[in-house]
Amino acid sequence: MPGAFAKSLSFGVFGIEPYQVTVEVDVTIGQREDSIFQIVGLPEGAVKESRERVRAAIGNSGFWFPAGRVTANLAPADIRKEGVAFDLPLAVGVLAASGSLSPDLLGRYALVGELGLNGEVRPVRGALPLALGARNAGVSGILVPTDNAPEAAVVERVQVIPVATLAEAVEFLAGTRPILPHHPPPFVTENGQHIPDLADVRGQAGARRALEIAAAGAHNILMIGPPGSGKTMLARRLPGILPPMTFEEALDVTKIHSIAGLTGRGGLITNRPFRSPHHTVSHVAMIGGGTLPRPGEASLAHHGVLFLDEFPEFPRQALETLRQPLEDGAVTVARAAMTCEFPARFMLCASMNPCPCGYRTDPARECRCTPPDVQRYHARLSGPLLDRIDIHIEVPAVKYQELTRGEPGEPTAVVRERVQAARQRQLDRFRGRPGLYANAQISGRDLRRWCRLDDATLAMLERAMGSMGLSARAYDRILRVARTIADMAGKDEIDSEAVSEAIHYRNLDRRL
C-alpha cells in the first residue's frame, strides 16, 4: 500500500523553558474500515485525546482525513509531552502527509494551538515561552491562536501569525491567505494602577514607615497586631509603592503566569504580582511541583509580593518550603526523571495576631490566652524562618479619633517616589554587579564593604545581640535594613540612629 510522510514543527515547555518538538506523520493509505490513528512519543492523556479532536476538526473544516493507518511521532520520544498545544501541528502534519497541503512551508513556521471539533483554534498555556522557543530555533515565525497573539508577539525577531481556525492555518501555509504578523503595543508599565492607595490608611504611622523601608530595600516584613488593625489593608498597598517593573522583569513574570494559564488574552503583565494564598495551601501549591512540574505561589509572586495572612495558621511544611526561595530567589523541583528550576524572587509580606485569640495587645479587649497558649502559637513559626524576615513590626489597633478625625496619609505616588530614589542609590552602588538591585540581596561578604559601622554603633549592636539572643543571620538582616534606612535618608554611612531603628524591627525576636 502506498504511504506518505510529512513533518511539522512545534514546541513544548519543561518547567518554564521551551523545547523543540518535531511532529512526524506517516500515512499508509488503506481501507476506511481499517483506519487507525496512533500517537507515539510519550504522550500523556490530553495529547492522546488529540486523535479525536484532530480527526473531527479536519473533517469539519472541509478536508479529507486519510483512510488507513496514520502514525504520528512527537520527537524527541524520551520526553513526556503534555497539554493540548500539539493539536494544530498534528492536524497540519496529517494534511501534509495525505497530500492536502504542500509541506514546503512547514519547516519555516512552528505551530501551536488546541483544536475544537469544529476546527476552531483555541488558546493554550505558555504562548510566551513557546514563542521564545521559536525565536531561539531560528524559524521564520510561529502560528498561534488569535487569543494568544498579544502575549506571544512581545518576543522580538520572530513573526507571530494569529490564526482562528484550522482552515486559516492551512490557507496561510499554502500561500493562498496572507495574514499579517501581530505587533504588540509599546511597553508601558502600569505599576500603581488598579492598586488601592496608601492614603486610605488612617493612622499607623509606624507601620507605614516600616512598609516604606521594606519596599525601598526589598526586605521581607511581618506585621503583628490584633484583628482589624489594618494589616491586610497595608499589605495590599505594598505593590503600589514598589518601583515600576522593567521590560525584562515583565517578561519573566508573564512567562511564569503564561505557563500557569493566568494571562488571559492580554500581552505583557506590567503590574507587580500580588499573591495571597489561603492558609490551607499545600506545600506543593506553595512552591510548585506535580508529576509534570508547574510553578507554585512562590514563583507566581516573582518580582512581586507574596502575602501570607494568618501566618502561623499555614501548614508547617508549606512555610518551611519557603526557606530556599527566600534565600536563593529560586525553587528547585526534583523528580525521579527530571529536575527543573522556577524563579521565585519575591518580597514576603506576612501578618499574624499576637496570640491565638488576637487581643493580647489590644487595650480595648481582654485577652483570654494563657502564657503557654501564646508560646505554643509563636512556636508554630520556626527560628530559621523568622531569621529570614528582615522586619517585624507592631500594628496596634487604630484609635477612634484617628479613624474619624485623623488626616489621610501620604498617597501611594508620593511614597513611591521616595522608594525609587532609595532604589536608585542602591543601583548606583551595585553598578557592575548583575542581578544585584536591592539591599536585601547583599551577600555576607559585601556587608563588610557596604555596611561599615563605627565603634560606638558596633558596641550598641553587640549589646542588642546579647540581650535579644539574635542569630548571625539576624545580625546580617539588621545591617541590611540599616543600610536601607541610611539610603532613604540620603546618607553614605550607616549611623547609630539607623542601626537602632533596624534593631527595633526585630520585634518578634525580642518577645521570644
Determine, yes or no, domain membership for 248.
Answer: no
pLDDT digit of tens for each residue in the chain (512 aa)?
A: 345 899 999 999 988 899 999 999 999 877 666 679 999 999 998 999 999 999 999 999 999 998 889 999 999 998 889 999 999 999 999 999 988 888 777 889 999 999 999 999 999 999 999 999 999 999 999 999 999 999 999 999 999 999 999 999 999 999 899 999 999 888 877 655 577 899 888 888 899 999 999 999 999 999 999 998 999 999 999 999 999 999 999 999 999 999 998 887 778 899 999 999 999 999 999 999 877 788 999 999 999 999 999 999 999 999 999 999 999 999 998 876 678 899 999 999 999 999 999 999 888 889 999 999 999 999 999 988 988 999 999 999 887 666 666 677 789 999 999 999 999 999 999 998 888 899 999 988 888 889 999 999 999 999 988 888 787 888 899 999 999 999 999 999 999 999 999 999 986 765 54
Q: Are 286 and 255 in contact (CB under 8 A)?
A: no
Domain at 56, CATH number: 3.30.230.10
Domain span at residue 137 reads: 3-174
Determine, yes or no, domain membership for 157.
Answer: yes
- Which residues make beta-bridge pairs with 71? 26, 38
- Which residues make beta-bridge pairs with 10? 21
- Strands 339-343 and 330-334, how do they pair? antiparallel
What pLDDT, on the 0 to 100 scale, is given for residue 1? 39
Determine, yes or no, domain membership for 342.
Answer: no
If you ran DSSP here, which 8-state letter would residue 21 be given? E
308: burial class by Cβ within 10 Å (0-12, 13-18, 19+)?
A: buried
Q: Are 232 and 395 in contact (CB under 8 A)?
A: no
Q: Give the number of domains in the chain.
A: 1
Expressed in angstroms, the distance from the first to the final Cα of the chain is 81
Nearest to 110 by CA among 27, 35, 22: 22
Cβ neighbours around 465 below 10 Å, total: 17
Give the chain's length.
Answer: 512
Residue 83 grid coordinates? 497539554
Determine, yes or no, domain membership for 160.
Answer: yes
Q: Are 109 and 141 in contact (CB under 8 A)?
A: yes
Determine, yes or no, domain membership for 405.
Answer: no
Determine, yes or no, domain membership for 141.
Answer: yes
Determine, yes or no, domain membership for 438.
Answer: no
Q: Are 465 and 499 in contact (CB under 8 A)?
A: no
3-state SS class at 54: helix
- The alpha-helical segments, DSSP class H, found in 330-454 are 371-378, 383-387, 400-404, 412-429, 444-450
